[in-house]
A and B are shown apart, each in its own frame.
Chain A
Amino acid sequence: AQSVTQPDIHITVSEGASLELRCNYSYGATPYLFWYVQSPGQGLQLLLKYFSGDTLVQGIKGFEAEFKRSQSSFNLRKPSVHWSDAAEYFCAVGASSGSARQLTFGSGTQLTVLP
């Protein structure tokens, strides 16, 4: 069975600082990996996805993530955080084959941005 760990429940950064949100996954084969963002009272918006190929993935809003198979990680990064980035971030792992129920979500990381 697949699983996702987001070790940081809450992260606080200053506006303009760099950001890295950690995600570790467990899955027996090559996974599909996703990062979603959720603003208060909203649904989840896809930031980026990894299926195969280049291990550095670019997403929307200036975010990127790097797939490291040896570390079973898919960390999300942004070089300079904006106040509007304050939200909750979810990492998800999906099976590369099998049934439709593919995504397993981490418990989320809440990001606070200080002015």
Chain B
Amino acid sequence: DVKVTQSSRYLVKRTGEKVFLECVQDMDHENMFWYRQDPGLGLRLIYFSYDVKMKEKGDIPEGYSVSREKKERFSLILESASTSQTSMYLCASRGGSNQPQHFGDGTRLSIL
């Protein structure tokens, strides 16, 4: 089974801090994704990566950046956290183009 591990289940940070969310997958997948999930809005794609050091913006990239230095790890960075970024963050990975995405358990981030 594919295992996608997010480093923290719950995280509390302060406004203005630089925040790192980490995601690791164990299936040698090329594609990795970061979503945020808010009530009534479903999942919205922030960034994705289709290879090491490659990244593309999703639908809501403002205020975020990402890093993919190794194939198995995809990091989401909040450059200067704001209260509007309080949300559930979900990481996913996928192998080939006709394969489903596999999700981690999520990180519930609160910005105070």
Majority secondary structure of chain B interface residues (helix, strand, loop or mixed): strand
Interface size on B, residues (CB 8 A): 29
Of A41, A42, A97, A105, which is within 8 A of B43 by CB?
Answer: A105
Which residue of chain B is the closest to A47 with respect to CB atoms?
B100
Which of B4, B43, B56 contacts A101, CB < 8 Å?
Answer: B56
Once bound together, how far apart are the Cα atoms of A9 and B49, in whole Å? Answer: 31
Contacting pair A102 B42 (CB below 8 A): no
Q: How many A-B residue pairs have CB under 8 A?
A: 55
Find out whether the CB atom of B58 lies under 8 angstroms from the CB atom of A107: no
Contacts of B50 in A (CB 8 A): 99-100
Contacting residue for B33 out of A41, A90, A101, A107, CB 8 A: A101
Residues of B near A107 (CB, < 8 A) are 40-42
Q: Is B48 an interface residue (CB 8 A)?
A: yes
Q: Tell me, in angstroms, the Cα distance from A30 to B53 when the chains sit together.
A: 31
- A34-B100 CB under 8 A given contacts A101-B45, A107-B41: yes
Sample of 10 more A-B contacts, CB < 8 Å, known A43-B90, A46-B102:
A32-B98, A41-B106, A43-B103, A46-B100, A90-B43, A100-B48, A100-B56, A101-B56, A101-B58, A107-B40
Interface residues of A (CB under 8 A from B): 9, 32, 34, 36, 41-46, 49, 51, 90, 97, 99-103, 105-108
List the interface of chain B (C-beta within 8 A of A): 4, 9, 30-31, 33, 40-45, 48-50, 56, 58, 90, 92, 94, 97-98, 100-106, 108
The 4 closest A-B pairs by CB, nearest first: A43-B103, A100-B50, A107-B42, A44-B103
